[in-house]
Amino acid sequence: MTVTPLFWLVPIASVVALAMAWFFFKSMMKADEGTPRMREIAEHVRKGAMAYLKQQYLVVLKVFLVLVVLFAFMAYVLKIQNPWVPFAFLTGGLFSGLAGFFGMKTATYASARTANAARKSLDGGLRIAFRSGAVMGLVVVGLGLLDIALWFIALSYVYGTDHVALITITTTMLTFGMGASTQALFARVGGGIYTKAADVGADIVGKVEADIPEDDPRNPATIADNVGDNVGDVAGMGADLYESYCGSILSTAALGATAFASAGEMQMRAVIAPMIIAAVGIFLSLIGIFLVRTKEGASMSQLLRSLAVGTNTSAVLIAIATFLILYGLGLDNWIGLSFSVISGLTAGVIIGQATEFYTSHSYKPTQAISESAQTGSATVIIKGIGTGMISTCIPVLTIGVAIMLSYLCANHFDLSMSAESISKGLYGIGIAAVGMLSTLGITLATDAYGPIADNAGGNAEMSELGEEVRHRTDALDALGNTTAATGKGFAIGSAALTALALLASYVEEIKIAMTRAMESGQQFIDAAGNAFDPSKASMPEMMEYFQVTLMNPRVLVGVFIGAMAAFLFCGLTMGAVGRAAAKMVDEVRRQFREIKGILEGKATPDYGSCVEISTRAAQHEMILPSLLAIIIPIVTGVVLGVAGVLGLLVGGLCAGFTLAVFMANAGGAWDNAKKFVEEGNFGGKGSDVHKATIVGDTVGDPFKDTSGPSLNILIKLMSMDSIVMAGLTVACNLM
Amino acid sequence: MTVTPLFWLVPIASVVALAMAWFFFKSMMKADEGTPRMREIAEHVRKGAMAYLKQQYLVVLKVFLVLVVLFAFMAYVLKIQNPWVPFAFLTGGLFSGLAGFFGMKTATYASARTANAARKSLDGGLRIAFRSGAVMGLVVVGLGLLDIALWFIALSYVYGTDHVALITITTTMLTFGMGASTQALFARVGGGIYTKAADVGADIVGKVEADIPEDDPRNPATIADNVGDNVGDVAGMGADLYESYCGSILSTAALGATAFASAGEMQMRAVIAPMIIAAVGIFLSLIGIFLVRTKEGASMSQLLRSLAVGTNTSAVLIAIATFLILYGLGLDNWIGLSFSVISGLTAGVIIGQATEFYTSHSYKPTQAISESAQTGSATVIIKGIGTGMISTCIPVLTIGVAIMLSYLCANHFDLSMSAESISKGLYGIGIAAVGMLSTLGITLATDAYGPIADNAGGNAEMSELGEEVRHRTDALDALGNTTAATGKGFAIGSAALTALALLASYVEEIKIAMTRAMESGQQFIDAAGNAFDPSKASMPEMMEYFQVTLMNPRVLVGVFIGAMAAFLFCGLTMGAVGRAAAKMVDEVRRQFREIKGILEGKATPDYGSCVEISTRAAQHEMILPSLLAIIIPIVTGVVLGVAGVLGLLVGGLCAGFTLAVFMANAGGAWDNAKKFVEEGNFGGKGSDVHKATIVGDTVGDPFKDTSGPSLNILIKLMSMDSIVMAGLTVACNLM
């Protein structure tokens, strides 16, 4: 088979994305950074963020070295592992780290410039913040496709492009997702702990006890808080979505290689289809990005519309383009597969809308939380948790419908569960996830824009730029909160679909590991006592061999452990934020007490010690939950075998998805319930009702920015981990 | 086959249990109810509780009538339903309601008598409270076995006792579990909303705003609070555990009938084995109850020991007795099955110990929550949620090990997933649940004892009996909190195991429904296009026919919906408590404002209006979550078929169990973190730290007493519901 010429779109798109990112970065750097005070604060934040990132990468490097040695040992000594894994793992981690690094570097240069532009006009601020967010979006998709293109070219040079080779290549490439997931988990967990320790600590002493506004320069934790926005919300999110993006493309390619293994040229087309959709998505995202323009003196709703025009245009264009791409590729059932993509895209939009409904204070649920604050902070918490739990309903039903539709559209509405119907259906689920993430260039831009605007506000407050500028940055920030809802819908929806696609890839990897074991002399006997040849087994035969039925106690115990893993992981990250925040509160209280004149603005607080506390807490606390996420699937595989692991992944996925939606939405709703009161409802700023909503907001911080988003990665890391460790599961299953 | 003579132990034990309950009730009634003021308060609470129960039963009656008509229509008109179902459903509901009613009646008579006895001595109070709790325990097990025995006798008279008849009889009896579950759900949800609306409302205005102690007669919500303890914690718990008890026995009997269908006499033995274990458990519980005696002037640790002696003796005796019973019955593999029972019992104990570790303020986790209160209520909430989530780890792993062990011990360590190995293994899981609940007579006594002691304290405070008496009732209350931990372990552990056993019963019911459909002319074709005869299909063949593999999108979507259902249900009940509590707060604030002299103790508050608010809120708010729990499995069955329902049940079980443990433990830990501060730590009563822990306690109230325990029932009701609706799923599956 030859590589379809269309494939070359993939490296081209990645280079274009990186070049455009460079262009946006350079043009942002040309803007003025403002007054000396503004520069100074930006410099503080930048230094703190970079110092933290360096330390985090050092910790992650150690973990990576240990894992690489382990993978190399499994590959070269035990010979139960694909020999490319150590390298693929490393490049995945490296590129994911780079995406976070460049995004954060851009953000830290952009915040003062955004604030400065906002001194003149609202839309000047918007343009700088949004274009800087676009740098992040383009770097993520550019590096992702670059990594994919390079590996695909290299491996097809080594293995050729026949039917067997394509399966080998795609399953090998899948393992670089493990590197990206591991990096992403540390970035999300570490960054999440960092930012929320600072934020919670700053809020408790500043807003509740000392009654000073957010980002007030008298608050010693305020620089740490702004650093946190960058390391958590920017660098963490970059690594996270890099991983989703590559994971969905790679797992779909692997599914395509299997589903069309005996379909001649069709196999190559199925493998590169997700890559090409992603490549075209880059160009369409660029169109969207350029569409985001505003007139001088635009109103808030005009601003919102101009952002929405960008993202919606890209989404509609990709929906249309998918038909053309799949038709152009000459893929079988291209119409059905295009509808799979559309069901994924639509699901993302619906989840985003539901998120907005449950978390925006323009709607009743969040207003009701504000109302419940009239009876104190306890009822705010009860109401918020209740609302968050109820809000899981629409996203779960939407994902359920999307799963059924993308599966059925891809396999001609065949529910027979034959080998072919399953593999084609799962390919449909995978390509729906790719469709959802194909316009990541622009959706991530609107997401990364948020923390930049937030930091610009911080800079404006600390530089005492005056009420009007702060109003403008607040407007930019509020805009970010709204657009972020859609972004979240795509992020979590695609995580669920990708994780489902990875389930199938896991079974494929087990098959490969068994084939390898058989070649070294191991024999497999099925339940009936006959010899079992994994290399010839179809998906249903594999499932039967491993007795993956719901009546198998190993499957049931696996599902239990998967659900528990999601809770345990959240519990550990919540606890970490609690502990770190307590240290932060102690330190801020100490400074208020010991540094004379600090509250009158006559003495400078010691910002550095607060940065230090967050840094140390994040580094220390991110280890345990992250390692658990890696170890649980391995131990489950060794003790309960393939059936147990599949149970674990399904349980982790379903409970984790629901828990993630609950936490993200409860957190978002509390945040906006507070804003609703601040806008003058139920007593307004400074009232008892306001204080009660601040408690809700503070509890919601780790919900929405630490534990909730980390679950997205946990879901996929557990799958990736199981895939990479397939050889070990085959070699040392105890039962 | 003849009914083994040992069977007659079952009706005998049930009559003995009811007679002893009557005896304990009469002897409690002989005790003095105390001062006129004490009688008056007790009368208030009793009337409020009975009035509420009457109204609740009216609502439930309406729901039952609708369902009975539906079942009758399905049975007699559509002929897709077992004709006994309407009657079995009604008796299950009736007996469950009776258990709650008698338990609550006893409790409301016992509280003033306990307080009065505590005026003289601690152990006098203990004896009355504990023996009254025992009334509840014995009524539940007595009515449960009576219902089972009567139906078994009646149906074996109608159908005979051959191999087919036993399967028909046991699967028919299973459906009376649906009645018990439905009644229990309403009792738990309604009672839970009632009690927590009053409790949260009373705490917010009383403790936090007006700074008056708990149960202070000046607080208008205090009678409602005490009524709530009775309707929620006593009547609700009674109905709940009645359902668990019968559910585990019935599902195990049904599994036994299938697993030993071709094993001659062995089938009858397997069917009655769980009933006999339960019957013997009643006698052993009575021994335990009589062992709970204390010397005059016993210390707290002696009291604890005397309760522990009772429960532990019963548990050890039943473990030994199981060997004798199963040997005496001549059941195959009696040693293995006995070990299944022991693994269930051990799991219950371990979960109880873990619960105690995470929720008692003698241990670090809860103390750390108190410590976190130094930085305010937000960190208390964050820490408590983190701790609750982490605390799911041990219970889930324990249940996982218990599932594997009870399965493997029962089928000679056979993991081959043959039809026989599965059905015997599942029988082992069922009988482990029966073992866990066999000593319910005494474990429920220690559980029901708690709210009686709590109410006695309320009575003492309102009757102003003085510091010393209140100290004694506080000690009794604290004792109840500790022993309740073990009770909770058994309740939730047995719910999980019973739900698993019900999974298998569901497949069995589908088989019966399909056989019935085939007899009326319907034909079934399998995936390969061959005719499928359900009446001859084994469990694995059924699973294959319905394609219940983890790669089936219907299964996956089912698991998603199951996980979501647990969250949605909790969200609705949390929201209900929040809304009702807000109304209560408004009312109490109004009375404090409008009734002059109320806070000085010169004017009597209007207790009745608060009772009215709780009653109306509970009645109104319990409908939606309860109906959803009934409707979701039906809709899933119609849309996604058998595969979807099995996914739903597994997802609901695993996510629901984890969520239930999280909520119960977080709530318990908050409660005790407050008590730890009240004992003088971190500033003690009245400090800011104390106020922060009260917020935690208030949030924890609906966690541990409304949403958490209701999940136990939800898990089983969804299974029961699917079982009863099997005919509908077979008749109108859309896919």
Compute CA B563 distance to the chain's CA centroid, rounded to the nearest angstrom. Answer: 20
From CA B82, how far away is CA B290, in angstroms rounded?
43
pLDDT reading at B488 higher than 80: no
The answer to whether B550 contacts A646, with C-beta atoms less than 8 Å apart, is yes
pLDDT score at A296: 62
Q: Hey, which residues 134-163 in chain B have their CB within 8 Å of chain A? A: none
Burial class (CB in 10 A: 0-12, 13-18, 19+), B91: middle
Residue from the list B203, B381, B392 with its beta carbon closest to the beta carbon of A567 = B392
Residue keyed to tokens 């309601």 = B97
> Is the CB of B560 inside 8 Å of chain A's CB atoms?
yes
Q: Which residues contact A701 (CB under 8 A, 6 or more apart)?
A: A196, A199, A200, A203, A577, A667
Query: Which of B370, B549, B572, B648 has the most A C-beta neighbours within 10 Å, making it the best mutation to test the interface with A?
Result: B549
Q: Is the pLDDT of residue B402 over 90?
A: yes
* ipTM associated with this complex: 0.95
- Residues linked to residue B549 through DSSP beta bridges, in sequence order: A549
Of the ranges A216-220, A297-301, A724-728, B365-369, the best mean pLDDT one: B365-369
pLDDT tens profile A333-379: 999 999 999 999 999 889 988 998 999 888 999 999 999 999 999 99
In this prediction, residues B381-393 reach a mean pLDDT of 97
pLDDT digits (tens, 9 = 90+) for A387-421: 999 999 999 999 999 999 999 999 998 888 888 89
Chain A residues inside the 8 Å CB shell of B504: 551
User: Hunting for tokens 């119609």 — which residue is that?
Assistant: B638
CB proximity B555 to A under 8 Å: yes
Q: What is the pLDDT of residues A7-56, one digit of tens each?
A: 999 999 999 999 999 999 999 999 999 999 999 989 989 998 998 989 89
Q: Is B547 on the interface with A (CB under 8 A)?
A: yes
Task: Work out whether the CA dihedral A572, A573, A578, A582 comes out positive or negative.
Answer: positive
- A97, part of any domain: yes
> Predicted confidence band at A297 (pLDDT cuts at 50, 70, 90)?
low
Contact between residue B727 and residue B81 where contact means Cβ atoms under 8 Å apart: yes
* B300 touching chain A per CB within 8 A: no
Asked if residue A332 belongs to a domain, the reply is yes
C-beta separation of A589 from A605 below 8 A? no
Q: pLDDT per residue over B431-455, tens digit each? A: 999 998 998 999 899 888 888 998 8
Answer with the residue of higher pLDDT: B528 or B375. B375
**Is A650 in contact with B556 (Cβ distance < 8 A)?**
yes
Tokens, residue A548:
């993956």
Q: How close is the nearest chain A Cα to the Cα of B211, in Å?
A: 14
Between these two residues, A303 and B540, which has the higher pLDDT value?
A: B540
Tell me which chain A residues have a C-beta less than 8 angstroms from the C-beta of B376.
Answer: 204, 208-209, 585, 695
C-beta atoms of A400 and B577 within 8 A: no
Could you tell me the pLDDT band of residue B624, with boundaries at 50, 70 and 90?
very high
Mind listing the pLDDT tens digit for each residue in A671-718? 999 989 988 999 998 899 999 999 999 999 999 989 998 998 899 999
- pLDDT for residue A203 is more than 90: no
Residue B2 inside a domain? The answer is no
* Residue A6 CB-density burial (10 A; 0-12 exposed, 13-18 middle, 19+ buried): middle
List B residues 381-420 in contact with A (Cβ-Cβ < 8 A). 381-383, 385-393, 396-397, 399-400, 403-404, 407-408, 415-418
pLDDT given at position A301: 75
Could A582 and B375 be called an inter-chain contact, meaning their C-beta atoms sit closer than 8 Å?
Answer: yes
Residue of B397, B507, B553 lying closest to A407 (CB–CB): B553
Average pLDDT, chain A: 91
Residue B71: the pLDDT is 92
Yes or no, beta carbons of B383 and A695 under 8 Å apart: no
**C-alpha distance from B33 to closest chain A C-alpha (Å):** 37
Distance between CA atoms of residues A654 and A677, nearest Å: 35
Nearest to B561 among A400, A426, A572 (CB): A400
CA distances in angstroms from B321 to A306, B278, B280, B315, B501, listed in the order given: 76, 11, 8, 10, 23
User: Within a domain: residue B513?
Assistant: yes
- The residue that leads in pLDDT, A231 or B657, is B657
> Considering only CB atoms, which chain B residues are within 8 Å of A408?
553
Q: Is the pLDDT of residue B178 over 70?
A: yes
Q: What angle do CA B235, B499, B325 make, to 5 degrees?
A: 85
pLDDT at A304 exceeding the cut of 80: no
Min distance B383 CA to chain A CA atoms (Å) = 6
Is the confidence at residue B53, as pLDDT, over 70? yes
Q: pTM value?
A: 0.95
Is residue B463 within 8 A of residue B333, CB to CB? The reply is: no
Neighbours of B316 (CB within 10 A): 14
**What integer is the mean pLDDT of A159-163?**
89
Residue among A540, A553, A559 whose CB faces B654 most closely: A559
Residue B301 CB-half CA count within 13 A: 0
B642 reaches A (C-beta below 8 A): no
Higher-pLDDT residue of B365, B348: B365
How close B570 comes to chain A (CA, Å)? 7
Predicted confidence at residue B297, as pLDDT, reads 66
CB contact under 8 A, B382 and A570: no
Res. A552 pLDDT band, cuts 50 70 90: very high
Chain B partners within 8 Å of A379 (Cβ)? 200, 204, 578, 581-582, 585
pLDDT at B473 over 90: no
For residues B246 and A569, give the distance between their C-alpha atoms in angstroms, rounded to a whole number. Answer: 36
Higher pLDDT, B304 or B272: B272
Find where tokens 């230090």 sit.
A612
User: Is the pLDDT at A316 greater than 90, yes or no?
Assistant: yes
Whole-angstrom distance, CA of residue A232 vs CA of residue A576? 15
Query: What's the burial of B118, exposed, middle or buried (CB within 10 Å: 0-12/13-18/19+)?
Result: buried
Task: Output phi, psi for A525, to 5 deg.
Answer: -120, 130
Looking at this protein, which amino acid is placed at residue A349?
V
Contact criterion met (CB < 8 Å) for B574 and A386: yes
pLDDT of residue B296: 62
Cβ B383–A578 below 8 Å, yes or no?
yes
> CB-CB: which of B549, B551, B564 is closest to A393?
B564
pLDDT tens column, B200-259: 888 888 877 778 887 888 888 888 988 988 888 888 888 888 998 999 999 999 999 999
Structural domain includes residue B3: no
Mean pLDDT for B490-506 is 89
Residues in B closer than 8 angstroms to A698, CB to CB, are 378, 382
Range A628-646 average pLDDT: 95
Contacting residues of B for A545, CB less than 8 Å apart: none
Q: Answer yes or no: is A158 within a domain.
A: yes
User: What is the distance in angstroms between the Cα of A603 and the nearest Cα belonging to chain B?
Assistant: 25
Residues spanned by the domain of B282: 12-531+538-732
CA–CA dist B191, B614 (Å, integer)? 9
Q: Identify the closest residue of chain A to B376 by CA–CA distance.
A: A204
Among candidates A552, A554, A578 on the partner chain, residue whose Cβ is nearest the Cβ of B386: A578
Is B591 an 8 Å CB contact of chain A?
A: no
The reply to whether B585 touches chain A by the CB within 8 Å rule is yes
Considering the domain boundaries, does residue A1 fall inside one? Answer: no
User: Does residue B526 have a pLDDT over 90?
Assistant: no
For the cut 80, the answer to whether the pLDDT of residue A478 exceeds it is no
Instruction: Please say whether the beta carbons of A38 and A455 come within 8 A.
Output: no
B386: nearest CB among A386, A425, A571? A571
Q: How would you class A214 by CB atoms within 10 Å of its CB: exposed for 0-12, middle for 13-18, buried for 19 or more? A: middle
User: Which of A400, A548, A567 comes nearest B662 by C-beta?
Assistant: A567
From the list A374, A551, A699, the residue facing B543 with the nearest CB is A551
pLDDT value of position A158: 93
Instruction: Find chain B residues with C-beta within 8 A of A735's C-beta.
Output: 415
Q: Structural domain tally of chain A?
A: 1
Ranked by mean pLDDT, which of A197-206, A387-396, A503-512, B189-198 comes out on top?
Answer: A387-396
Contact call for B375 and A581, based on CB within 8 A? yes
> Residue range A487-492: average pLDDT?
79
Residue A80 lies in a domain: yes
- B3 has pLDDT over 80: no
CB contact set of B290 (below 8 Å; sequence gap of 6+): none
Q: What percent of chain B has pLDDT over 90?
A: 60
